Amino acid sequence: MLQRVIALITLASLCLLAVMLTTTTPATVGPFGLLVIFISAYLSFLGLISFFLYGIHRVIGYVIPAFRKSKKNRFTFRRAYYFSTILAAAPVMILGLQSVGTIGWYEFLLVAIFVGIGCLYISKRIY
């Protein structure tokens, strides 16, 4: 059920993002429109990364059968969704940082540290 909901939300947010990016400009859309763009970008990345992580894990499970049988390595779609909530925030943060100024190695490092700490927290809290 979660897969269907995420797929529908991703599809709707991709359509909304495409419409917003092709029909408006940042000067005419205003603050609320920019908020809609950032939220729809986050939801799009969330769904795409969730399905990507789950699909990669399934492919690795077919290639390496011992990896699939391990109870410790059990990777459900819900777990992929949890990790993608943090991973999807990184491109949106970088886009937001780019919109207010230039991005250097320091900003990338801060975003990477945030993603690393978030993924570590999720991996410890799920099991």
Mean pLDDT of the 65-79 span: 73
Residue 102 has pLDDT above 70, yes or no: yes
Q: How confident is the model at residue 119, as a pLDDT?
A: 93
| pTM of structure | 0.88
Please name the residues in contact with 86: beta carbons below 8 A apart, sequence gap of 6 or more: 115, 118, 119, 122
Name the pLDDT band for 125 (thresholds 50, 70, 90). confident
Mean pLDDT of the 18-41 span: 90
Q: What is the dihedral of CA 51, 56, 61, 62, to 10 degrees?
A: 100
Q: Which of residues 27 and 50 earns the better pLDDT score?
A: 50
The pair of structure tokens assigned to 36 is 């809609």
Mean pLDDT of the 64-72 span: 68
Residue 52 has pLDDT above 70, yes or no: yes
Q: How confident is the model at residue 69, as a pLDDT?
A: 65
Which of 127, 122, 124, 125 minimizes the C-alpha distance to 53?
122
CA angle 51, 90, 62 (to 5 degrees): 25
Residue 91 has pLDDT above 70, yes or no: yes
Domain residue ranges in the chain: 2-126
Name the pLDDT band for 127 (thresholds 50, 70, 90). low
